[in-house]
Structure 1
Amino acid sequence: MAGEQNSETTEMFRRMALSMFKGAPAGFRRTSLSARADRHGASGGVTNVLAGGRARPGPRDFHQQLSRVYDLAGTGTDELGIEIVVDPTGRFEAVTGRALLSRRGSAPGTEQCLYVRRPDVLPPDAGDDAPGPSRAARSGDPVEAVQLLDRYLRKRAAILGLPEGDLEWLPRPLEPAEIDDLEQSSPDITLPEDLRALYAVADGDGGDGGARLMDRHSWFDLRHVAARYRSDLWWLTAASWSSHHPHAVRYDASPFGLVRRSARRPGWIPFAENGGGDFLAVDMDPAEGGRPGQVIRIGRNHDDGPVHVADSVTALLRAQLDALERGAYECDVENGELWIETGLPKRRRAALSHSRVHEAAASLDNVQALVTTGETDLEPLRGARRLWRVCLSGATAVELAPLGDVPLESLELDLASVDLAPLTEHPTLRTVTVRTAAPLSLAPLRDCPRLYGLDLSNAAVRDIETVAEMKGLLYLSLRHEQWLDLWDRTGSPFAPAVPVLAGTTTPGQLVEWAAHFADGDQSDALHYYEGQLTV
């Protein structure tokens, strides 16, 4: 599994290790660097572990060296995982691999190294399970949209003291053939008729620094829409293991049941941006209660789920015009800016999360997450229709039976003892994390049809071999001794798509562990490096 050391790469690691060593505080026990690099650059940070297990962050200025390691690895378009560890004697170890992902917890020992054996197998997306729209007809009215844009622009000009009808600042309109060509250049892009009609009036609003005509978002020209959609398949990044967290639940947007519970989807086509990494998109792949062409808000601040903004681009323009006509705006005439108070949703309301169950139970239709500490009676939540995530901690024991009656997807338990029997064959459960010192039986989870992720790295498990019988399991996090126990009991190196090694490890230990999953395919090989600093 470990390839031969490349001399130039070893020298690059030696330089980084020396900087880490010199930058570590006196009495350090270990200094480590976890990073990801790709053709766009690299990112990662140093963690210094001190006496008593205390951790302190170190420098993050290794971008140039990490990028060079990536270039030397020759991975093409793939990301490269990089781990370096230096001990107080000056000995350093490093490992690289495109299949390697690392996640650092808040304290030493909470680290996790993911070995992505099957990058073609993506994490399940809750949005895929929602039925399609019951009303297939697209929303919006192209004729009304054009009329609304004209009235909106004229009202805007009047407020800003601009000559009436002076719209020469707008980019030129597109011909129908140009729109057709740009749509066809990205086969997955199909615009709703109202947005398409607007591009026949103006090809966006001039981009960033322009008028920001779409609810304080810059309206993209159509070529930019197509380019952004194609670029790096950005709408799929949230579906990759590198950005996935097993308990990253997507919540429902209000009104409920209109938008699929995803972070990105190919049917979401961004057409405007606020400059801060959030987008307005037309949703051509809505949930059962929605309609193709509805407008949603997605992006950097909406990884936990989209926001339903308006029924259509037409409705968005109507809301903006209505706000101007009733005086719901602020104006900066000198800089030519308007802040329109449309009343349209800007953020998805946070999933209701309570420390007291009886408060959450007062409005079951709104309960999407429950995080609670201490003695807990879950009975009041029985029948909650949108309770996707439950996180319980601190109690000596909790009766989980009421959770068998909710559409639970993510369960995190940090309890003195746990009985999973009430979850037997739970139809919607996707991920489970258990932290408990009392021996735990996994048998009830064996036949949960949608279970794909387990984190047992802080649990005492009686029947660890049960995980090998979970046919849909993709992600499994265990400590090193738990992996050895599993392999010993099953007689073979059970290998899910993404095995995870939890706890503090060295690159050498990581390579040794990953070697158990070797299947003759060297595309996911890890490469090991070591050396000694002169200190």
Structure 2
Amino acid sequence: MSPLHDFTTWEPLLRVLRDGNERAAAGHQVAGQISRGAWSVPVRRRSPKPGRASQVEDMRDEFDAVQRVQDALTATGIDGVSFTAAIAPSGTAVLRLLGPSPAVESGVGSPHPGSLLLVEGAFPEPWRRLPDPVPGAAPAPTADLGLLERELRERIPRAIGATDEEIATAEKRLGVALPDELKVLYRVTRASRQDHGDDHAAAEREYDAVGCELFSLDDLYVADVASRPCLWRFAAKEAVVTPPDAAVQGLVGSPGWIAFGDNGGGDRLAVDLTPGPGGHIGQIIILSHEENIGAGLVADSLTELVLRGPRQDRRRRADGPPLVAHVNVRAVPGVEAAAHPGLEVLSIGVWEDEPLSLAPVVGLPRLRTLAAYPGTLADPLEISRLTGLEYLQLCPEDWRVLLDAEAVPRTLLAASVEPRHDADLLPVVDLANEILALWNRPPIIRTRVEGDLGPIGGERG
């Protein structure tokens, strides 16, 4: 038996649930989710003593019980699992484990299934976008190889530089030739920690010399779309926008973005070999770790970065109606107001007026994502008239209408069932499996595990 399906693995957590959740103690079903690095279980945690913050010891029982399950996940090679638990007053416990499925992404802080991957290997449209060619793009006038080398050698005179062979090896690994300014930088310093020896201030001098935490040659990487993974539920709601005079293309990633450093806060600096219409080849851009898409310009060249330091992240906002529209009580006031030929993403949130018709967006050539909050659609069957949808996020009730009418759009690459937070997990899983079956995708596995905790106050030792 897999340790994940052994009742003794879950017994400590079930006891924690019974002790820390009134519904569980009363015999009602509760649900949670545990992954190797995080968990969400419905337990009321003890309040700390007055005058001090919560500490690990205040939650030791929960931590230890979760760790037992996480160890079982690791042992079985599974990233995470959702569960429901029903504990009778007599102590009889029924646990239902849900997952995994290679066709379902992880949920976000919820036991409910994440996005359903209906077409294996498919990516959202922004993650399929390649850079546009920019004829006539050239290096910035500030790029000066001689000046760059002299300045770097003066600032870090004892640095050990890379050989031509080491640079060639890095280029072969990356599959792209390093731009001349980046070669100059690594011929001055290969930024290897092993070279620093006992000189603990060496890395700091390199930071001051260049304006960022340098990667070694072995750690250089191409910041393409694969380096910026994102769950479908977020990625499908992004859009690539590059204004006509933008210095940087508004991409997720590019085969011409060579990441060479970090600003010390998790944002990556890269040399840009595929600039926007208003940019320069070899300009320095920054990729925020808090964003899924796009980059900002911080210097027109590596020479400028070294001599003047990074400028404030500069981005050009696009004119015209947005490609991503949020219809809700505080933003766009209706579907008709959101409709225009370039619309790619329509997200309908909390809405206090009458339910909305999708008629204004029928026939829009680029609409690929629709997300609708429960109760906001006047007629869910209007979705069948949206012929280019790739991603659809609906509540269970709206999915039920489409399934019963055999009207689920077959253009979908991924989908999401978004129930209310207190919805019963098991029917949601059944609905998700029904959708997956339309594409012959692997279902979410349901495993029943039973055991006995004994009555409250009389637990076994």
TM-score, with normalisation over the residues of structure 1? 0.66
- Find the aligned partners of 1:432 and 1:32 in 2 and give their Cα distance: 28
**Given the alignment, which residue of 90, 101, 107 partners 2:105?**
101
The DSSP-based 3-state class of the residue aligned with 1:244 is helix
8 Å contact kept, 2:381–2:402: yes
Pairing of 1:151-170 with structure 2 (within 5 A) = 151-154=151-154, 156=155, 167-168=157-158, 170=159
Change beyond 3 A, Cα 1:88–1:530: same
- Find the aligned partners of 2:75 and 2:106 in 1 and give their Cα distance: 20
1:260 and 2:249 aligned = yes
1:69 and 2:65 aligned = no
- Deviation of residue 445 (structure 1)? 1.7
8 Å contact kept, 2:124–2:235: no
Q: What's 1:344 paired with?
A: 311
Q: What's 1:409 paired with?
A: 324
Q: What's 1:83 paired with?
A: 82
Q: What's 1:34 paired with?
A: 33
The DSSP-based 3-state class of the residue aligned with 1:197 is helix
**Given the alignment, which residue of 439, 448, 456 partners 2:355?**
439
Partner AA of 1:171 in structure 2: I
How many residues were matched structurally? 417
Partner AA of 1:72 in structure 2: T
Change beyond 3 A, Cα 1:17–1:264: farther
Q: What's 1:391 paired with?
A: none
The DSSP-based 3-state class of the residue aligned with 2:433 is helix
Q: What's 1:306 paired with?
A: 295
- Find the aligned partners of 1:465 and 1:315 in 2 and give their Cα distance: 56
- Find the aligned partners of 1:63 and 1:251 in 2 and give their Cα distance: 44
Q: Deviations over 1:3-54 (max 9, x none)?
A: xxx65321276347425514634445664333455xxxx333324599xxxx
Unaligned stretches of 5+ residues in structure 1:
1-5, 51-57, 75-79, 158-166, 320-341, 350-365, 369-384, 387-404
The DSSP-based 3-state class of the residue aligned with 1:461 is coil
Partner AA of 2:361 in structure 1: L
Change beyond 3 A, Cα 1:195–1:416: closer
The DSSP-based 3-state class of the residue aligned with 2:412 is coil
Root mean square deviation, CA, Å: 4.0
The DSSP-based 3-state class of the residue aligned with 1:14 is helix
- Find the aligned partners of 1:303 and 1:467 in 2 and give their Cα distance: 27
- Deviation of residue 311 (structure 1)? 0.9
Partner AA of 1:147 in structure 2: L
**Given the alignment, which residue of 388, 397, 405 partners 1:489?**
405
1:202 and 2:189 aligned = yes
Change beyond 3 A, Cα 1:428–1:523: closer
1:193 and 2:180 aligned = yes
- Which shows bigger deviation, 8-17 or 279-288? 8-17
**Given the alignment, which residue of 221, 224, 231 partners 2:216?**
221
The DSSP-based 3-state class of the residue aligned with 1:264 is coil
- Deviation of residue 240 (structure 1)? 3.7
- Find the aligned partners of 1:290 and 1:93 in 2 and give their Cα distance: 55
The DSSP-based 3-state class of the residue aligned with 2:188 is coil
8 Å contact kept, 1:174–1:202: no
- Find the aligned partners of 1:173 and 1:260 in 2 and give their Cα distance: 31
1:244 and 2:234 aligned = yes
The DSSP-based 3-state class of the residue aligned with 1:529 is strand
- Deviation of residue 85 (structure 1)? 2.4
**Given the alignment, which residue of 20, 34, 38 partners 1:24?**
20
Over the matched positions of the two proteins, sequence identity in percent amounts to: 19
Change beyond 3 A, Cα 1:98–1:24: farther
- Deviation of residue 112 (structure 1)? 6.6
Change beyond 3 A, Cα 1:72–1:24: same
Q: Deviations over 1:152-205 (max 9, x none)?
A: 442x47xxxxxxxxx23x123312x43223212222x33211112332333236
8 Å contact kept, 2:224–2:252: no
- Deviation of residue 506 (structure 1)? 4.5
Q: What's 1:292 paired with?
A: 281
- Find the aligned partners of 1:476 and 1:531 in 2 and give their Cα distance: 33
TM-score, with normalisation over the residues of structure 2? 0.75
Partner AA of 1:44 in structure 2: W
Q: What's 1:160 paired with?
A: none
8 Å contact kept, 1:428–1:450: yes
- Find the aligned partners of 2:190 and 2:332 in 1 and give their Cα distance: 61
8 Å contact kept, 1:508–1:528: no
1:528 and 2:446 aligned = yes
Change beyond 3 A, Cα 1:94–1:430: same
Change beyond 3 A, Cα 1:171–1:521: farther
- Find the aligned partners of 1:204 and 1:81 in 2 and give their Cα distance: 38
Unaligned stretches of 5+ residues in structure 2:
46-58, 454-461
8 Å contact kept, 1:122–1:241: no
- Deviation of residue 447 (structure 1)? 1.7
- Deviation of residue 275 (structure 1)? 3.9
The DSSP-based 3-state class of the residue aligned with 1:524 is coil
- Find the aligned partners of 1:257 and 1:234 in 2 and give their Cα distance: 19
Change beyond 3 A, Cα 1:67–1:497: farther
Q: What's 1:325 paired with?
A: none
Change beyond 3 A, Cα 1:192–1:525: same
